């Protein structure tokens, strides 16, 4: 391709000028088929994101990530530190899922699902267009002196942005400490819930900083996922791509001239209007090829389609396509690499779902007291144990007691035989197991213990029962 631009663009990023200073992006307001789809996707995802911490299932918050108290709820399933293995597997599933998706569909996650993109492009940016106007008006406003119009617009915009940042911070806090704690703070006031209120102010400040000033720098500098693109993408990955074969042809891109028959000139279909660059929220030129900054937001597809339409050329000069599809005209193929990732994902998902369903609502750990030998109590042998019962549910259990299963003998709990564990509570204590020496068959017997609430068996666990070596 003779007229392809040189590689100098790879030495700089579009948001830093030659002096090393931040170059603000004033992207043109996108419009078109993909933008409309993305709007609808963003409404659904925003509704889910905001609703998640306020929905309860069986009294459990639907989604909660209370790191300080080490309590996590995922899809209404409470996860405790004891369930950490499940949490690790769910993270692994998430990572493999994202890798698989990236290998096949490029950065579709960034453009359509990532909360940063959704909040920036579908909330803050749209308010900005509404207050400041489109690209041209925004550029003018940024250059003009601080007159009454600029002050008025800036005050309105920053106030609205602050309020939205405060709203997002509230939702974020509800994910972290739970919606009940958030409502308690609202009810009792910030003074009595000072730590949560300080956290709320810090989160508000961070969101305000990110969405007012830092913006696309999050994707370029801070996001580790963006950095992974270089290793995950290959020639078969589908990306938002410029069809340089068609766009450049033999003579390269050239301005549109309605008097000439472009098909006979050898000029490419790109009319070099720069509209795809002006609409790009990352400040890049997609015609330079796949770039780290590109979030696959599709704005340039819509823009170029409307340009192609206006000059009577076929749409799709910028489109979702793999490099091989553009260069070799190869249709999409499910490659061995993709199959491998899918198999790993399927196995991990199956393990995760299986573990989720096998997981008990009540977890019991019964261990022999270290350093204690068995004791003779008449005809019986007695061993002492410590127990810990974790109630992971949102209901109280009022009649908890232990029984031996498949083994004759008694369990004597120190304190009350029947006790209570409140919702999300833990009960710990000491118990004795006594078994007739006559029925012991070895010096180490595995015993199975049932944890009951009334007649309901909640959980079973096993432990060792020690006895004398010789039997009469
Ligand atoms: S919008 Fe389309 S025609 Fe215009 S410069 Fe970009 S690729 Fe070329
Ligand atoms: S190049 Fe296109 S898809 Fe990539 S960020 Fe810019 S406008 Fe979005």
- The average pLDDT across 39-59 equals 94
- By percentage, how much of the chain surpasses pLDDT 70? 97
Q: Which fold has domain 362-466?
A: Immunoglobulin-like (2.60.40)
Does the pLDDT value for residue 3 go beyond 80?
Answer: no
Residue 2 has pLDDT above 70, yes or no: no
3-state helix, strand, coil in the chain (%, to 5): 45, 20, 35
pLDDT at residue 344, rounded to an integer: 84
Q: Which of 143-157, 336-350, 360-374, 417-431 has the highest mean pLDDT?
A: 143-157
What pTM was estimated for this model as a whole? 0.80
Quick check: 87 pLDDT over 80?
no
Residue 239 has pLDDT above 60, yes or no: yes
Q: Are 63 and 54 in contact (CB under 8 A)?
A: no
Distance 307 CA to ligand 1 centre (A): 7
The whole-number pLDDT of residue 6 equals 62
Q: State which H helix or E strand residue 464 sits in.
A: strand 456-466
Taking all residues of the chain, what is their mean pLDDT, rounded to a whole number?
A: 90
DSSP letters for 152-188? HHHHHHHHHHHHHHHHHHHHHHHHHH-HHHHHHHHHH
Could you say which DSSP state residue 32 is in?
S
Distance CA 32, CA 47 (A): 23
**C-alpha distance from residue 343 to each of 102, 311, 338, 350 (Å):** 16, 46, 9, 11
Nearest CA to ligand 2 atom 1: 286
Question: Other CB atoms closer than 10 Å to residue 344's CB: what's the count?
Answer: 15
Contact 124, 174 (CB under 8 A): no
Q: Where are the beta strands (DSSP E) in 47-143?
A: 56-57, 60-61, 63-66, 71-74, 77-79
Secondary structure of residue 404 in the 3-state scheme: strand
If you measure from the C-alpha of residue 291 to the centroid of ligand 2, how many angstroms do you get, rounded to a whole number? 9
What does the pLDDT average to over 165-193? 93
Return the pLDDT at 470: 66
Mean pLDDT of 205-210: 97
Asked if residues 284 and 274 have their Cβ atoms less than 8 Å apart, the reply is: no
> What is the mean predicted confidence (pLDDT) over 223-246?
88
Weakest mean pLDDT among 235-244, 330-339, 419-428: 330-339
Q: Where in the chain is the domain with CATH 2.60.40.10?
A: 362-466
User: Which ligand minimizes its atom distance to the CA of 274?
Assistant: 1
Check if 280 has its Cβ closer than 6 Å to any atom of ligand 2.
Answer: yes
CA distance linking residue 73 with residue 59, whole number of Å: 11
Burial of 142 (0-12, 13-18, 19+ CB in 10 A): exposed
Contacts of 298 (CB under 8 A, 6+ apart): 34, 35, 38, 111, 240
pLDDT at 212: 96
Segment 94-115 shows an average pLDDT of: 86
Residue 1 — pLDDT band, cuts 50, 70, 90? very low
Of all protein residues, whose CA lies closest to atom 4 belonging to ligand 2?
Answer: 294
Of the two residues 48 and 100, the one the predictor is more confident about is 48
Distance CA 97, CA 103 (A): 10
288 Cα distance to chain centroid: 30
Distance 268 CA to ligand 2 centre (A): 21
């Amino acid at each position: 391709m003779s007229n392809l631009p040189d590689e100098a663009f790879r030495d700089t990023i579009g948001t830093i000028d030659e002096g090393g200073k931040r170059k603000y992006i004033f992207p043109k307001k996108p419009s078109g088929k993909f933008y409309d789809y993305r709007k609808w996707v963003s409404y659904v995802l925003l509704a889910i994101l905001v609703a998640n911490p306020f929905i309860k299932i069986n009294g459990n918050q639907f989604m909660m990530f209370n790191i300080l108290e080490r309590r996590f709820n995922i899809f209404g399933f409470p996860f405790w530190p004891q369930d950490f293995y499940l949490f690790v597997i769910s993270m692994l599933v998430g990572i493999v899922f994202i890798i698989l998706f990236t290998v096949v569909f490029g950065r579709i996650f960034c453009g359509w699902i990532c909360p940063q993109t959704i909040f920036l492009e579908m909330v803050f940016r749209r308010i900005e267009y509404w207050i400041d106007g489109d690209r041209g008006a925004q550029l003018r406003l940024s250059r003009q002196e601080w007159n009454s119009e600029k002050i008025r617009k800036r005050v309105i915009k920053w106030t609205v942005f602050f309020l939205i940042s405060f709203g997002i911070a509230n939702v974020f806090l509800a994910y972290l400490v739970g919606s009940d704690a958030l409502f308690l703070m609202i009810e009792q006031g910030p003074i009595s819930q000072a730590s949560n209120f300080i956290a709320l102010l810090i989160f508000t400040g961070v969101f305000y900083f990110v969405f007012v000033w830092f913006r696309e720098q999050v994707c370029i500098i801070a996001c580790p996922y963006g950095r992974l693109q270089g290793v995950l993408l290959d020639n078969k990955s589908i990306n938002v791509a410029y069809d340089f074969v068609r766009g450049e042809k033999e003579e390269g891109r050239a301005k549109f001239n309605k008097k000439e028959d472009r098909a006979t000139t050898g000029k490419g279909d790109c009319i070099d209007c720069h509209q795809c660059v002006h609409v790009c929220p990352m400040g890049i030129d997609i015609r330079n090829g796949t770039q780290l900054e590109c979030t696959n937001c599709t704005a340039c597809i819509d823009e170029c389609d409307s340009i192609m339409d206006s000059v009577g050329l076929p749409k799709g000069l910028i489109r979702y396509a793999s490099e091989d599809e553009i260069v070799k005209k190869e249709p999409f193929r499910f490659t061995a690499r993709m199959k491998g990732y899918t198999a790993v994902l399927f196995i991990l998902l199956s393990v995760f779902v299986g573990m989720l369903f096998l997981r008990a609502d009540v977890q019991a750990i019964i261990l022999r007291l270290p350093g204690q030998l068995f004791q003779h109590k008449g005809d019986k042998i007695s061993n002492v144990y410590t127990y810990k019962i974790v109630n992971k549910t949102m209901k109280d259990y009022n009649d908890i007691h232990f029984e031996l299963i498949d083994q004759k003998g008694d369990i004597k709990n120190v304190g009350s035989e029947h006790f209570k564990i409140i919702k999300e509570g833990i009960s710990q204590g000491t118990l004795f197991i006594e078994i007739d020496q006559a029925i012991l068959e070895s010096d180490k017997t595995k015993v199975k213990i049932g944890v009951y609430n009334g007649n309901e068996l909640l959980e079973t666990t096993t432990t060792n029962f020690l006895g004398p070596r010789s039997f009469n």
